[in-house]
Amino acid sequence: MSRPYGPRMTVFPRRIAPQAAGPPAWPQIAARWQLWRWLSPRLDVVLAPLAGASVLALLTEPGDRARLGVLALCALVAGACLARRVAAQAALLPLMRHAYPFMGPFLGLAGLAVVELLTGAPAAGPLDLLAALAVAGVVGGPWASLFGSPPPGGARAAFIGPPAAAGRLALALDAVGSRQYVLVGYVTYPGAAPGAAPRRLGELGELARIVAEHDINLLVMGTEAPRLAVFSEVAESCLGLPVRLVELSSLFEEVFGHVPTAEINASWFLCLADPHARASAAPLKRLVDVAGASIALVLALPLLPVLVLLIRRDGGPALFTQVRIGEGGNRFRLHKLRTMRVDADASAQWACPDDPRMTRVGAWLRRTHLDELPQLFNVLRGEMSLVGPRPEQPQFVDRLERMLPFYQRRHLMRPGITGWAQIRCGYAGSDIGSAWKLCHDLYYAKHRSAGVDVLILCETLATLFFERESVIQPENATYVLADER
C-alpha cells in the first residue's frame, strides 16, 4: 500500500552549534519563518475556513455577505476541529487519507446547512456549498497527500538505547520508506550492549550538546534504556530545548499505526485503565451499532434473497454458522453466507484470499465482504459490534493465547464486523499474521472513539467502490514477535 504518513513536518534552517562552554546557543529565527512554523500545521483550521467562508460570501447576495461569511467561518472552524480528532488515524488509511482534507469542511458546511434550516439564516445554495467545500479542502489539505506522495522533509530523531535496537528501528523506518522522521543516530549509556548500528552521537550525559549540534527534534527512548536516568537527564538539560521525548511504542503508533507487542510490557496497558471513559463511550457506540446495523439490513434486504439463490445452486445451505470467541472470552455463534464448497474440510483452518475451498460465488462474496451481512443480526443481539477486533475460532484462540503475550487483551472489546486490523492487515492466514493483527487490535483499543469507528466504516465502505491497495506487512518481525530476534 502507499506509505502511511502522519502530521506534516517542516525542516527549518540548521541551528548554530553550541559554543565550547556554556549552555546550547539557539539563534533567533527570522519572523517569516516563525510565522510559517506557526501557520503550516494550522492550514486546516485557519486558511481553509477563511477561504471557504470567503467563497460563500462572494457567491451570496450583497446584503447577506457579512452575516453568511461569519456563520460559515465559525462552522468551518468547528468542522476542522472535529476532523482533527481523527487526523492521525486518517493519515494511516490508504483511502481516507485522500478524503481527509475535505472531511473538516464537509462537517462544517453540513452544520451550517442545519443552522440555516432551523434558524432561517441566509441560505447558501447547494452549488455554493460545493464550491466552498472544494476550495476549503484544497487549501487546507497537504498537497503531497492529495496526490499520494510523501510530504517533503522530516523531523530529525535520535534513539536512546543499545546499538542493536537502533539498527532495528533504522531498518523498520527504511522498510516503509518513512520520511516523517529521519533517524540521525543513537545515544548510548553506561552498560549498553555493543553492536552495529547507525551513527553513534554520544553518551546520555551529553544529551543537550547532541540535541543542539545535530538539530534533534525527537528523542526516542528504547525499551532497554534506563528510564530514570533518561528522565533525569532530560529534566536537567533539555527542558529549555525544542525537543520532545517519546517511547518507542508511541513512535510506532504515530508513524506505523500499530503497537510493537515485542517492545511493550504490562505497564503499557495503564493507558486502558480508565473505566469512566469506557462507561461513557459504551452507550454511544451501542447506539451507532444498532442504528448502523438496522439501516444496513434494510438496504440489504432486496439483495439477500438473490445471494441466497446463487449460493444454493450447488445444493448446500446458504448460511454458515461457526462458534467464535467474543467479549470477555464468551462463546457465541457467528453467522455468514456460505463461501466454501459443501464437501470442504470443516476443521479449523486459516482463511486466505485465494482459499481453494471457496466456490466461484464465494470468492466474489469474500472480495466484496457481502458474506458478512448476516453478522448484522449478531450486532443487533449485542454479540458483536460494527467495529472491533475480528472474533477467532476457539481452537486458534487457545493456541494463540499460549504463544502471544497479551493476546487475551483483545477480548476486552466486543468483536466487530470490520476493524482497524481488518482494513490494514487483511486476513491473518497464520500465527505470525495473528500476531501482526494483534498489534493493530491493541492500537485500536487505545485510540478507539466514535470518530475512529466512523473513519473505519468509511474506509470499509470505500473498498466496495475503489480498488483496495495492497495490505501492509510488518516492517520488522522482531517488533511483532520477540522470538524472531
> Which of 4-18, 33-47, 60-74, 89-103 bottoms out in mean pLDDT, i.e. has the lowest?
4-18
Reported as a pLDDT band with limits 50, 70 and 90, residue 385 is very high
Distance between CA atoms of 55 and 40, rounded to whole angstroms?
22
Q: State which of 18-32, 340-354, 471-485 shows the largest mean pLDDT.
A: 340-354
**219 and 288 within one domain:** no
Residue 484 pLDDT more than 80?
Answer: no
Confidence at residue 125, expressed as pLDDT on a 0 to 100 scale: 84
**393 and 337 within one domain:** yes
Question: What total number of domains does the chain contain?
Answer: 3
Please, are residues 178 and 477 in contact by the beta-carbon 8 Å criterion?
no
Q: What is the pLDDT of residues 29-68, one digit of tens each?
A: 445 555 555 566 677 888 899 999 999 999 888 888 888 8
Cell 545535530 -> residue: 214
Strands (DSSP E) along 137-234, which ranges? 155-160, 181-188, 200-203, 218-221
**284 and 336 within one domain:** yes
Q: What is the mean pLDDT of the chain?
A: 81
Q: What is the DSSP letter of 225?
A: S
Please, are residues 4 and 176 in contact by the beta-carbon 8 Å criterion?
yes
Q: What is the pLDDT of residues 204-262, one digit of tens each?
A: 999 999 999 988 989 999 988 999 999 999 999 998 888 999 999 999 998 889 999 88
Question: What domain range includes position 113?
Answer: 44-141
Q: Mapping DSSP to helix (H, G, I), strand (E, B) and coil, where does residue 340 land?
A: strand
Confidence at residue 19, expressed as pLDDT on a 0 to 100 scale: 45
Which of 239, 265, 291 corresponds to the end of one domain? 265
What grid cell was written down for 157?
A: 530523531
**330 and 228 within one domain:** no
Asked whether residue 279 is domain-assigned, the answer is yes
**286 and 221 within one domain:** no
- Enumerate the H helices of 124-226 as residue ranges: 126-140, 143-146, 163-175, 207-213
**356 and 275 within one domain:** yes
**470 and 331 within one domain:** yes
**234 and 323 within one domain:** no
Which of 91, 107, 141 corresponds to the end of one domain? 141
**211 and 186 within one domain:** yes
Distance between CA atoms of 139 and 136, rounded to whole angstroms?
5
What grid cell was written down for 96?
A: 481516507
Distance between CA atoms of 248 and 264, rounded to whole angstroms?
9
Asked whether residue 32 is domain-assigned, the answer is no
Please, are residues 76 and 108 in contact by the beta-carbon 8 Å criterion?
yes
Asked whether residue 38 is domain-assigned, the answer is no
**189 and 90 within one domain:** no
Which of 106, 141, 176 corresponds to the end of one domain? 141
**322 and 230 within one domain:** no
**385 and 361 within one domain:** yes
Please, are residues 57 and 124 in contact by the beta-carbon 8 Å criterion?
no
Distance between CA atoms of 405 and 266, rounded to whole angstroms?
10
Per the confidence metrics, is the pTM higher than 0.85? Answer: no
